[in-house]
Amino acid sequence: SPILVPFWAHVNTFVGFVLAVWIIIPILYYTNAWESQKMPIVSNSVFDINGYYYNTSKVLDNNSQLNETAYNIYGSDMRLPLGFVVVFGFTLAGFSAAIVHTILYHGKSCVEQFRISLEDQKNDVHAQLMSHYAEVPEFWYYILFVVSLILGTINGYHNELLSGHVLL
């Protein structure tokens, strides 16, 4: 069934969980890595160097902009709990691993697919099915991009997001 997840995927997830939560996090916590014992192991809050909640209202002005003077006085040392740090680390490693895996194992296939069009794939069953439909004109992609950029800029304006950041 296409809905069922293979057993090896469950085992892989469980091994990663055991490695992170039962081995890596306790070792880092009990060796006081990054002064982690001053904070809870798992939390979504930001803490100061003494383990208290970091009060962001002390470093932001009324427009939610950084007040550098207050930032220098209150303290620039913000700390994340250990669980959060490990999750960030594994997430970044996962993204990198996915990209490297795709390049190493499917790189040639990806390059081939970028070079050929649907007309060149006459023996591919998916290309045969799609050949019954007209190709989307290229200008539709440009229209979609411009409309998305405009809507993103309008939405980001209220959140103080610069229009150039919408492109990122």
Give the per-residue pLDDT at 6: 92
Q: Which has the higher per-residue pLDDT, 51 or 161?
A: 51
Distance CA 118, CA 132 (A): 11
Q: Enter the pTM of the model.
A: 0.64
pLDDT tens by residue, 17-56: 999 999 999 999 999 999 999 999 999 899 988 889 998 8
Residue range 76-111, pLDDT digits in tens: 788 999 999 999 999 999 999 999 999 999 999 988
The dihedral formed by the CA atoms of 40, 44, 45 and 49, expressed in degrees to the nearest 10? 50
